[in-house]
C-alpha cells in the first residue's frame, strides 16, 4: 500500500517529486531527549532493541517530532552476527563487542546463516509493529550491515582503528575470508527479505568499513558480496516495488561500480560532490546524501545555507533527456548524539522549502501526473 507521503519512494524510482525527501541516518537516537527516556526505561541498548514495543516507540519519535519523509527501523547492524551465536554485548563508552570473535579456520567453518524468523523474530515483530503504528503516513526503511562490514566486527571482535586482524585474514587466508563473506551474504539477504515480508518498504545496506580497503580488495571482498545480496533481494512485495540503497563510507573512488551493483540508490558521504557524482553515474541510480553532520552545530542561517548548497550541487531534478535524477537528502554519516533537536527541525524545514523553491516551474502540478 502506497503511504500518504510517498515522496521518498518516488525519488528512489527517479520520478518527479514536489520537494526533495529527507530522512537522517541515526534519526532515532541519543540526541533526542525522548529517546534517552525510553532507553532509560528499557535499561540498556540491547533491551531496547529486543523489545518490539519500545523499538517501535523510538522509531516513531523523530517522525512525530519532525516532518521527515521516512522512518527507519530502530535496530543495530550487528543483529545478524549476534544471531549466529557470537554473543553481542555493549559496554558504555566502548561500543559493541563480541564475546566469541571469528579468528580461526574452525570458527569460520562453524558459521551458518541464521533463520531470521527463528533467531531475529524480535526485529520482524518490530517491523510489523512500526508499520501498524505509522498508519500509512511515511514509508519504513529496513536495513542491515553489508557482508564486509559485518565481517570486520566479527573478526576484530568489535570496533577497530586499523582493522589489523580482519585484514590479516584477508591477505593470509583469503579462502577463509571468502567463506565468511559467503555466509554473511546469505544471512543478510535472508534477513532483508524477511524484513520486506514483514513490511519494510525500502531496504538499505550499510558498508561502513568498505572505505578501509584498497580498490582491488574492495571489489573482491566487499562489493562482490554486496552485489550478491542485492541480486537476492525481493524486488516487489504485495504489488509494490521495494527499492534498495547502498551506502559505502569512503567509497567515492568506486562510485560507478557501486551504482552498477543493482541497487536503486547510492548513498554518499560528505566528501563527495553530488553534482559530479550525478554526472559520473549517468542517471543510472538515485543519489542519497550528503550534508556533513557537523553542519548541524552551525547557526541556523549557516545550516540553511549548507542545505541549499547540497541541493544546488545535485542540480535540477530533471535530466537533460527529460527523465528525473532522484535525490534523497540525508547526512553524509549518522547524526551526532550532541546535535540539538532544534537544528534538525530547521534542517528539515530548509530542505523542503529550498527544494520547492529550486524546482520552480519544474515541480509537478497539483492534480497532475504525479506517479502512483
Determine the pLDDT at residue 371. 28
| C-alpha to C-alpha distance for 178 and 181, rounded to whole angstroms | 5
Phi, psi at 58, each rounded to 5°: -75, -30
Q: Is 357 part of the annotated catalytic residue set?
A: no
Determine the pLDDT at residue 365. 41
Instruction: Considering the candidates 6, 10, 14, 26, report the single residue annotated as catalytic.
Output: 26
Q: Is 76 part of the annotated catalytic residue set?
A: yes
Instruction: Classify residue 368: in a domain, yes or no.
Output: no
Determine the pLDDT at residue 372. 24
Determine the pLDDT at residue 369. 32
* Residue found under cell 547557526: 299
| C-alpha to C-alpha distance for 129 and 71, rounded to whole angstroms | 13
Determine the pLDDT at residue 260. 97
* Residue found under cell 567463506: 179
Q: Domain with 303 in it: what CATH number?
A: 3.20.20.210
**Number of domain units in the chain:** 1
What would the DSSP string read from start to end of 255-311? HHHHHTTS-SEEE--TTS-HHHHHHHHTTSSEEE--B-GGGGGS-HHHHHHHHHHHH
Instruction: Classify residue 369: in a domain, yes or no.
Output: no
Q: Is 173 part of the annotated catalytic residue set?
A: no
pLDDT along the chain (372 residues), means of 10: 94 96 97 97 94 98 97 96 93 81 97 97 98 97 98 94 95 98 98 98 97 97 98 95 98 97 97 95 93 98 98 91 91 97 98 92 41 26
| C-alpha to C-alpha distance for 279 and 115, rounded to whole angstroms | 41
Determine the pLDDT at residue 361. 47
Instruction: Classify residue 371: in a domain, yes or no.
Output: no
Which residues lie below 8 Å from residue 164, measured CB to CB, with a gap of 6+? none
Instruction: Classify residue 370: in a domain, yes or no.
Output: no
Instruction: Considering the candidates 13, 76, 103, 125, report the single residue annotated as catalytic.
Output: 76
Q: Is 39 part of the annotated catalytic residue set?
A: yes
* 3-class DSSP state of 204: strand
Instruction: Considering the candidates 31, 153, 191, 225, report the single residue annotated as catalytic.
Output: 153
Instruction: Classify residue 75: in a domain, yes or no.
Output: yes
Instruction: Classify residue 337: in a domain, yes or no.
Output: yes
Instruction: Considering the candidates 39, 186, 278, 304, report the single residue annotated as catalytic.
Output: 39
Instruction: Classify residue 372: in a domain, yes or no.
Output: no
Residue 112, CB-side half-sphere exposure with 13 Å CA sphere:
4
Instruction: Classify residue 1: in a domain, yes or no.
Output: no
* Host domain of residue 50: 7-361
Determine the pLDDT at residue 359. 86
| C-alpha to C-alpha distance for 103 and 16, rounded to whole angstroms | 49
Amino acid at each position: 500500500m502506497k503511504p500518504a507521503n510517498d515522496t521518498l519512494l518516488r525519488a528512489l524510482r527517479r520520478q518527479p517529486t514536489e520537494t526533495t525527501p529527507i530522512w537522517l541516518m541515526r534519526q532515532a537516537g541519543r540526541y533526542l531527549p525522548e529517546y534517552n527516556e525510553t532507553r532509560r526505561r528499557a535499561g540498556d541498548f540491547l533491551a531496547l532493541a529486543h523489545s518490539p514495543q519500545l523499538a517501535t516507540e523510538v522509531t516513531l519519535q523523530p517522525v512525530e517530532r519532525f516532518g521527515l519523509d521516512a522512518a527507519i527501523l530502530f535496530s543495530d547492524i550487528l543483529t545478524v552476527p549476534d544471531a549466529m551465536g557470537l554473543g553481542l554485548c555493549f559496554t558504555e563508552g566502548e561500543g559493541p563487542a563480541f564475546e566469541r570473535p571469528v579468528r580461526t579456520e574452525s570458527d569460520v567453518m562453524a558459521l551458518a546463516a541464521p533463520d531470521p524468523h527463528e533467531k531475529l523474530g524480535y526485529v520482524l515483530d518490530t517491523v510489523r509493529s512500526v508499520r501498524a503504528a505509522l498508519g500509512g503516513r511515511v514509508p519504513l526503511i529496513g536495513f542491515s550491515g553489508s557482508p564486509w562490514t559485518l565481517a570486520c566486527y566479527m573478526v576484530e571482535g568489535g570496533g577497530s582503528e586499523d582493522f589489523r586482524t580482519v585484514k590479516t585474514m584477508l591477505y593470509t587466508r583469503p579462502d577463509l575470508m571468502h567463506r565468511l563473506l559467503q555466509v554473511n551474504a546469505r544471512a543478510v539477504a535472508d534477513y532483508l527479505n524477511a524484513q520486506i515480508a514483514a513490511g519494510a518498504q525500502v531496504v538499505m545496506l550499510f558498508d561502513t568499513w568498505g572505505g578501509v580497503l584498497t580498490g582491488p580488495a574492495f571489489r573482491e571482498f566487499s562489493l562482490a558480496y554486496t552485489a550478491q545480496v542485492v541480486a537476492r533481494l525481493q524486488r516487489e512485495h504485495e504489488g509494490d516495488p521495494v527499492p534498495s540503497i547502498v551506502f559505502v563510507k569512503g567509497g567515492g573512488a568506486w562510485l560507478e561500480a557501486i551504482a552498477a551493483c543493482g541497487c536503486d540508490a547510492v548513498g554518499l558521504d560528505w566528501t563527495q560532490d553530488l553534482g559530479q557524482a550525478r554526472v559520473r553515474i549517468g542517471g543510472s541510480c538515485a543519489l542519497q546524501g550528503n550534508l556533513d553532520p557537523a553542519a548541524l552545530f552551525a547557526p541556523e542561517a549557516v545550516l540553511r545555507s549548507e542545505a541549499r548548497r547540497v541541493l544546488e550541487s545535485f542540480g535540477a531534478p530533471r535530466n537533460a533527456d527529460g527523465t528525473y535524477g532522484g535525490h534523497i537528502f540525508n547526512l553524509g554519516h549518522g547524526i551526532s548524539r550532541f546535535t540539538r533537536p532544534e537544528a534538525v527541525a530547521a534542517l528539515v524545514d530548509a530542505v523542503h522549502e529550498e527544494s520547492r523553491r529550486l524546482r520552480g516551474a519544474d515541480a509537478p502540478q497539483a492534480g497532475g501526473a504525479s506517479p502512483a
